Amino acid sequence: MNQLQQSEIICETLTLAESDVQPFGFYKSDPIVVEQIFSNLPSLKKVAISRVEKLTEGKNNQNFKVYTDSGVFFIKICHTSEVQGINRQVEYSILKKAYGAALGVKPIAFDLKNNSIITEFIDAPVWTFKEIRTAEALKIFGEYIRKIHELSPISHIYHIKDLLDRYWHSLNLNSNDTIKKIQKFIEITRNQLDAYHQSSDIKFCHNDLYYGNFLKGQKTIFLDWEMAGMNDSYSDLAAFIHFHHLDNQQTELFLQAYSKISLNRDKLAIHQDAILLRELLWVLTKLQEGHTDYFYADYRQRCLKAVMNKQAKLL
């Protein structure tokens, strides 16, 4: 989530002392909810909130920038979805792990009652899509992602094949024409993931290496660890390549910075197919849940076109 895209902040600011007339984009309950979250937490219940900004970044969670007498905080009120398989308590423990490795923001508190996570707010710009595709940046990210994969293992598993299966089984297969069109591609991809599975490649992974999740300061900070867990490291690499549209030369620069040992390019290609499929199945679950934003319909069409092109080459 891009915490600092100020043009994306709905309205300017909201002070708690203002009248009943709320600026566009705010609900009167927003500051009240934030106050309730703070009051639930011993470490924050005496903190005085002066201002709340609701952020529009993020598709599933409610996100706030909160000004207080003890500094500025970021609050994520988390969406609950069994299909996504996200455990917020695990996410908070992962945030602490990432912060300890100088890879993430400082976690402040987790409010179980409101399913909310509070962290420090980092005043830094995000890496842009264009910046990430430069040779210098690709080397930086190769080294950073290697550091993520070198973190000690945890018990939480968020494996790409398990995720594909969970998305697949959550969809109404009888009424979803898209699923019928791509069923063969799903079967082929799952079988190939099995064929190339190696336990030595299972590492601690971020699992959402998308350019909106990187802050650019004196060091790079990774955001949105909600999908993090043990996964095939090739899946993380494939996601980074996929989301940033790396060509062959850019991919080689990135991979050389990541590892001095030659990686299996066939396995990487399979995981790129799996990431593309993951994105399509994800957006289908969102549409099935009733999301009607243009983003979802458009993303479905783009992912489906790419999957159909891949499938045509395989058959």
At 27 the pLDDT is 43
| Start-to-end Cα distance in the chain | 38
At 143 the pLDDT is 98
Task: Indicate if 129-314 has the same CATH topology as 6-120.
Answer: no
Among the listed residues 247, 269, 84, 304, the one whose alpha carbon sits nearest the alpha carbon of residue 188: 269
Among the listed residues 148, 142, 139, 276, the one whose alpha carbon sits nearest the alpha carbon of residue 205: 148
Enter the pTM of the model: 0.87
At 313 the pLDDT is 87
Cβ atoms of residues 127 and 2 within 8 Å: no
At 175 the pLDDT is 67
Q: How far apart are CA 302 and CA 290, in angstroms?
A: 19
Sorted by where each begins, the domain ranges of the chain are 6-120, 129-314
Coil, helix or strand at residue 1: coil
Residue 136 to residues 108, 132, 133, 217: CA-CA distances in angstroms? 33, 8, 8, 15
The vertex-112 CA angle with 46 and 101, nearest 5°, equals 85
Distance, C-alpha 253 to centroid of its chain: 24
Superfamily of domain 6-120: Phosphorylase Kinase; domain 1 (3.30.200.20)
Distance, C-alpha 279 to centroid of its chain: 12
Structure token pair of residue 267 = 């396995």
Cβ atoms of residues 288 and 175 within 8 Å: no
Strands in the chain per DSSP E: 14-15, 49-55, 62-68, 71-77, 107-111, 116-120, 202-205, 214-216, 220-222, 229-232
Structure token pair of residue 35 = 């106050």
At 297 the pLDDT is 94
- pLDDT lower than 70: segments of the chain: 1-29, 58-59, 175
CATH architecture of the domain with range 129-314: Alpha-Beta Complex (3.90)
How many beta carbons lie within 10 A of that of residue 189, not counting itself?
25
At 182 the pLDDT is 92
